[in-house]
Amino acid sequence: MTDRYAIVGNPVAQAKSPQIHAEFARQLGHDLQYLRLEAPVTPGGFAATVDAFRAQGGRGVNVTAPFKLDAVAYATEASDAARLAGAANALTFDGARVRADNFDGVGLVNDLLRNQRFELAGRRLLILGAGGAARGALLPLLQQRPAEIVIANRTAARALALAHECGAGAVRGCGLDELGGSAFDLVFNATSASLSDELPAVPAAVFAGARLAYEMAYGRGLTPFLRLARDAGVPRLADGLGMLLEQAAEVFNWWRGVRPDTAALRRQWAVPLV
């Protein structure tokens, strides 16, 4: 019997999840169908869409914007990562039980460790932005025991509040204008600036000594953030494609009990960062 999964969002036509999971299923010989479900952005629209999918035998869903917060509220239980992020990108169904998790941060860490060969233990990390992307990344990054994680945001209060929520001495928050000449091993762009081809309000000095600059957006080539990092002398650049594929592999494993390989899709979809 074919197992049914889907991605829920609005809009959802651009989502790559159907292609990704179709490739994973082909690779591992699994019989599954993966759909796109565009839920209405109205009160109860997400819940009604997921209810209907479950009634038709759906086994689980990925969740994309703007419903990641709705997914946590819909679930009967949520992982630590989903609770800290306040958002979930995957649900799995078992009768009346609905579990929520957020695999974005795990996907990021897996991309860094496995594909970028970049160790995080003992490193100083800078995250630009204090929104959902930063929230989803924090717990898995902390589990790698970095020396420090600095969250810098245009509104300092948001960064300070997020650092406080982590309850860990290795995390601190500040405003973008407070970064000064601090040195970091790795700089992440978790802002939405690159989606509109804009540069985060960050001084080039933050890249001094950095070994890697990581753009969480994917498929956009050399974004203003990556261009600034390259011009500042950062030797390695990465975008969020690896994060996308690695989180999808973790979701597939969560649903199906086996982890697919992401190498073929990374080669197929990679965009030169030049």
State residue 274's pLDDT score: 78
Is 45 labelled as part of a ligand binding site? no
Domains of the chain plus CATH, in order, are 3-102 (3.40.50.10860), 105-241 (3.40.50.720)
Question: Taking the model in full, what pTM does it have?
Answer: 0.94
On whether 247 is known to bind a ligand per the annotation, the reply is yes
Any known ligand binding at 132? yes
> Can you give the pLDDT at residue 166?
86
pLDDT at 180: 74
Question: Does 155 carry a binding-site annotation?
Answer: yes
DSSP string, 115-126: IS----TT-EEE
d(CA 151, CA 273): 25
Cis check: omega of the bond before 43, within 30 degrees of 0: no
Can you tell me the distance from the alpha carbon of 47 to that of 58, in angstroms, rounded to the nearest whole number?
A: 14
Whether 110 has a binding-site annotation, put simply, is no
Residue 199 binned pLDDT confidence (cut-offs 50, 70, 90):
confident
120-167 pLDDT per residue, tens: 999 999 999 999 899 999 999 999 999 999 999 999 999 999 999 987
Q: Are 20 and 14 in contact (CB under 8 A)?
A: no
104 marked ligand binding residue = yes
Tell me what pLDDT residue 197 has. 85
Question: How many helices and strands, by DSSP H and E, does the chain display?
Answer: 10, 12
Has residue 168 got a pLDDT over 70? Answer: no
| pLDDT reading at 175 higher than 80 | yes
Note if 16 is an active site residue: no
Average pLDDT, the chain: 94
Choosing from 68, 99, 123, 135, the catalytic residue is 68
- pLDDT, tens digit (0-9, with 9 covering 90-100), for 239-270: 999 999 999 999 999 999 999 999 999 999 99
CA distance 26 to 30: 7
> Is the pLDDT reported for residue 39 higher than 80?
yes
Residue 243 has a pLDDT of 97
Burial of 77 (0-12, 13-18, 19+ CB in 10 A): exposed
pLDDT at 40 over 70: yes
- pLDDT for residue 75: 98
